[in-house]
Structure 1
Amino acid sequence: MRILILEDEIPAYEKLLANLESYFSEAFLHDWARSNEKARAFLAHENYDFILSDIQLLDGISFDVFNTVKIDCPIIFCSAHDEYLFEAFRTNGIAYILKPYTKEDIRQALDKFQSFFKTESYQPIHNDTIHLLKSALEQEKTSYKKRFVIKKSNGIQLLNVSDISLIEASGDFCLAMDYKGKKHPISDTLGNIQQMLNPLKFFRINRSQIAHIDYIENIESHFKNRLLIQLTGIKEKVMTSSSTTSDFRKWLEQ
């Protein structure tokens, strides 16, 4: 068996590989690409039993690969996108693992590969479907995020964006802290999350934190042109960086 993994984040790739090794009793071969360019190079010379693919790669979205290279094997998508895109996947019967995923999520997707994808009834993904998914992705980008789907040990929970007080970068993922002080992991970069949020409500106060204006309780001056901010549900005060303080003051007055 040969598998192609398309994933730009190294920790996510390592997690996928570990789950694959745990699932399959026999050894398998795999290739790993972090970009569309590398993926096309692999697909030009190798045949695969199936592909595990993130949507966002280093040089663009993986849909662009599948739209230009004929793919005869099943694709299992792994991504943090939900709402429009998740509905588009579900409607078209495509295997989809929502980040942050668990070992059980991987197992269910691979079970589907073993049972359904290996039968004669499997139909390769068509260009029309790729165009539909790209359209859903564009629609998702033009709408501000309303909620995040959070995977926890007891199942899926929905976190409304309106309930988030602070979002903080934490290693290869982020933590969203709600107004009650509860923490929720989001498997995406702070930069990507910032683009999903309404800029009238959320401001990136420093390199690693985004604050919600509705939960600002108090602001006080600090040294080196910085501001200390008390947010609802957050025990410790957060701080603007020297470079963001001026823009933050203007943002408050919008």
Structure 2
Amino acid sequence: MSIKVLIVEDESLAAQKLMRQLGDIIPPIEVAGWVPSVREATAFLQQQAVDLIFLDIQLQDGLSFQLFEKIDLATPVIFTTAYDEYAIQAFRVNSIDYLLKPFTLVDVQQAVDKFQRFHQTAAPRPDYQALARLLAQQAPPAWRERFMVTVGERIQSVPVAETAYLFAAQKYVFLVRKDGSQHIVDFTLDDLEQQLNPADFFRINRKYLIQRAAIQDMVQWTKGRVKITLAPNPGEDTIVSVGRSADFRKWLGR
């Protein structure tokens, strides 16, 4: 008999990779659905029952722990997370399983094996809300730490630290790495402005969200604006908009 699972993950490439991994393990897995947000996960689970949930920590509309505040969730959960070792210890203490990104097929198989043992022995339900409180005490704000991107036919994990800037063009958002390579990402700049650490990233205009370390030079421009030289060179002028120039100067001084 197959195990019916829900994947709650805001990056489509990461979700697709997990689906492929679930298709390669034993016992058979039926993926009942994939949703990218707390709101959609809440709606799904109010309509359908599943045996197991793979739950990312950081979603489009906030931390996934909000899900436990919205519904009384008795379904076992395997968290997929990029949290540091202190927070991972909190998972262990609370007997909650997790997959530390980036994870392998072997990791997924071991997590499902653990779920089966949990299910067969009727182990006590973990206190998810206690875990959420503990993580809030231990961990800094859960800013995005990596992106899943495609390189040819391969899926690659790109740390945010390698990002120089992101820009919008032709209905897509492109991530530009420090080495000059570019990748399409599955988010709008509005989404990313909320997900990336504001100590490091600033939205200079409607088109560009830049990393502080990518700024090579700046000059005063017309109407109180600032013209920036970025590395790698985007091949066009990058100018802080009038409405953002004052906040940009404050950000630089922090």
TM-score (norm 1): 0.64
Q: 2:63 aligns with which of 47, 54, 61?
A: 61
Q: CA RMSD in A?
A: 4.5
Q: Which residue of 2 aligns with 1:247?
A: 247
Of 238-247 and 216-225, the range deviating more from structure 2: 216-225
Unmatched 5+ stretches in structure 1: none
Q: Trace 1:143-154 onto structure 2 (pairs within 5 A).
A: 148=145
Contact 2:12 / 2:186 at 8 angstroms: preserved in 1? no
1: distance between equivalents of 2:47 and 2:34?
14
1: distance between equivalents of 2:167 and 2:93?
33
1: distance between equivalents of 2:226 and 2:63?
38
Q: Which residue of 2 aligns with 1:51?
A: 53
Q: Trace 1:49-198 onto structure 2 (pairs within 5 A).
A: 49-66=51-68, 68-73=71-76, 75-82=77-84, 84-92=86-94, 94-99=96-101, 101=102, 105-119=103-117, 120=120, 123=123, 125-127=125-127, 129-137=128-136, 139-141=138-140, 148=145, 166-168=164-166, 174-175=175-176, 177=178, 181=179, 190-194=192-196, 196-198=197-199
2: distance between equivalents of 1:27 and 1:52?
12
CA distance 1:182–1:7, change in 2 (3 Å): same
Unmatched 5+ stretches in structure 2: none
Q: Which residue of 1 aligns with 2:210?
A: 210
State the AA in 1 paired with 2:247: D
TM-score (norm 2): 0.64
1: distance between equivalents of 2:166 and 2:247?
19
- Deviating beyond 6 angstroms after TM superposition, the runs of 4 or more aligned structure 1 residues are 149-153, 155-159, 182-188
Deviation at 1:59, TM superposition (A): 4.9
State the AA in 1 paired with 2:5: I
Contact 2:201 / 2:209 at 8 angstroms: preserved in 1? no
Contact 1:3 / 1:50 at 8 angstroms: preserved in 2? yes
1: distance between equivalents of 2:252 and 2:39?
43
Deviation at 1:54, TM superposition (A): 1.8
Q: Figure out how many residues of one structure are paired with residues of the other and give that number.
A: 234
CA distance 1:39–1:247, change in 2 (3 Å): closer
State the AA in 1 paired with 2:72: V
Deviation at 1:69, TM superposition (A): 1.8
Q: Which residue of 1 aligns with 2:226?
A: 227
CA distance 1:85–1:168, change in 2 (3 Å): farther
Deviation at 1:202, TM superposition (A): 4.8
2: distance between equivalents of 1:29 and 1:215?
41
2: distance between equivalents of 1:19 and 1:80?
18
